[in-house]
Structure 1
């Protein structure tokens, strides 16, 4: 259980036929995309739908989280009081999100009396959902934005995902927000060149799933564009952080001078947040949908890193693992790469734990958090990491350099208490002399000092270790 999907949607009241009175025909693509989102939400059969709205109560130093058991709303402000919707709130879920924010000293509050009704930016997505879902059968939790930082909004999103996992809820997040309001001279705020530029930037990030980059958009560009949805989208980015998802820009239109984008982010087989999900992934199951088969050793390395980065805890050895992980002991090196460059590599020459599985867990976590050459891996990097695990065979003594081959064998150099290792088949290591020299350097052995040599073979495991996002 956890976050199943997230969707970015606009909220023009005129998209509701009673208000649009025919004008909605000019945004037919937006309507079709909205209907597609509603169908997908219905297919997910969520327990709770969370809607982030820029028109919900907004607090300077905290977040609004709905705290009423039931809520109602209408389009009375747009001349149609008979267009009404009623929902019920998952109070336990709302409290779980608030409790997580409290740990970061971020306050939360319910709605003041003058804002008790559902706002129109929440109403519009509910209008489409109600055409495909019986709203009495699913809880809806409204949340608002604030004047707090981008990272605080992302943390709110992460808290939503973690609350869903902790409570075993099937959750969907809807980020309600329009793009620029300055696309045309006859629009609500006139024209500014920043308007189309902002919309191009955001829709491109949506299409490529680069949601963390939303918080790095130029502040002056955002202000000049007169946008209203960015903070909602940042909450969505935080909710999806660390989860693999498929991005899809379903539509974009702006005929009324306001940018309307609809985008879908379907969670695939993301980092396991429970030990049961970890076990399923490590055993090579097609967990949570359309995942390619993965080597169980690689899956265990990835799950170990993601579990540590997400929870701060060491992953316990899952039960019922394949015999190759539980029935043997071996040294192992876990390597992490990001965007083609090394991001961490830690290993053991000889086994120091009871099983290869425990060796992989410990070394994967160390590669992500304790490699002195790098800062610890952060949650926003998880989708961009690729993994490989080298399982070492037994070392054997070497009498001469002719017995080495940098493509086939790794090398161990020893001088007194100094010992260094270099894995085989490394980019840039072309000769035996290169291999020995680098191994000596790593061990702190000077080039002119004699060293005892050993060689070893490795089995390199990479299947399924590729980064989820480029």
Structure 2
């Protein structure tokens, strides 16, 4: 079975202390939860790490590609993996923060990355997840990057929406229960209205786990909504 574990983390730029500045301590608990999720992911002893996050289009990236924190006030490149090869500044925000989280672990494991179009329908997301699993030849751990709704209050990026809290609670239950069907049931239109950047990547995860088969167990490590955006951290492992 090539998929040995999965972790779900959010991707706010403020996770990076240099970006957050004086407010860095406000996300200490979230940062610690992400670190714990990565520790659990590596404990499954994968041969490869595969990062999946939303982007403008569905595409694969080379190991030397990188993202940048420049749009968020810090002139710093974040490489996916290899630093000795020429790559391009191509990573979307989700994978840039994912690469930063992996970099904090100090692991030398090979890592690959795929973006999924933010507006990809659930069927395409599930098919991508299944394809990633079927193509994997070595033990692979999946790091899935995605935020919940961005409509949790009048000061949130998407302003207040009364549906947002129930939506995020439903996602939290699905992640806690490793419920692939519940994730695949997330409505793409409602998710877009609530500005939930994680919908498509979560459905890639669900498609991958469904393709692998067997029983999986989940654990929700974190669920908060500072700044009006829901941040969820979870781990999935074969039962």
If the length of structure 1 is used for normalisation, what is the TM-score? Answer: 0.47
1:456 is aligned to none
* Of 120, 123, 128, the match for 1:156: 128
Superposed CA deviations along residues 254-285 of structure 1, whole A, max 9, x for unmatched, are 111000000110124xxxxxxxxxxxxxxxxx
Offset of residue 218 of structure 1: 4.3
Residue of 94, 103, 108 corresponding to 1:121? 94
Contact 1:42 1:132 survives alignment (8 Å): no
1:258 to 211, 229, 234: 229
Q: Is this contact kept in 2: 1:48–1:141, CA < 8 A?
A: no
Structure 2 counterpart of 1:84: 78
Going from structure 1 to structure 2, the CA distance change for 1:151 and 1:75 (only over 3 Å counts) comes to: same
> Partners in 2 of 1:124 and 1:181 — Cα distance?
18
Q: Distance in 1 between matches of 2:118 and 2:54?
A: 9
The residue number in structure 1 matching 2:19 is: 19
For residues 187 and 46 of structure 2, the distance between their equivalents in structure 1, rounded to whole angstroms, comes to 35
Candidates 147, 162, 184, aligned match of 1:178: 147
Partner of 1:65: 60
1:287-330 CA-to-partner distances (Å, cap 9, x unmatched) read xxxxxxxxxxxxxxxxxxxxxxxxxxxxxxxxxxxxxxxxxxxx
Residue 188 of structure 1 deviates from its aligned partner by 1.4
Q: Which residue of 2 aligns with 1:41?
A: 41
Tell me which stretches of 4 or more aligned residues in structure 1 moved more than 6 Å.
none
Q: 2:66·2:77 contact (CA, 8 Å) conserved in 1?
A: no
Q: Residue 75 of structure 1 corresponds to which residue in structure 2?
A: 69
Larger RCO (CA under 8 A, 6+ residues apart): 2
Gaps of 5+ in 1: 89-112, 269-470
TM-score normalized by structure 2? 0.88
Residue of structure 1 in register with 2:160 after alignment: 191
CA deviation map 1:388-426 (0-9, x unaligned): xxxxxxxxxxxxxxxxxxxxxxxxxxxxxxxxxxxxxxx
Matches of 2:59 and 2:187 in 1, distance apart? Answer: 26
* Pair 1:133 & 2:85 matched: no
- Indicate the structure (1 or 2) with the bigger Cα radius of gyration: 1
CA 1:86–1:239: 2 relative to 1, 3 Å: closer
CA RMSD across the alignment: 2.2
Q: 2:196 & 2:118 partners in 1: Cα distance?
A: 15
Q: How many residues align?
A: 234
Instruction: Please tell me whether the aligned partners of residues 78 and 99 of structure 2 are also in contact (alpha carbons under 8 angstroms).
Output: no
Q: How far apart are 1:139 and its partner, in Å?
A: 2.5
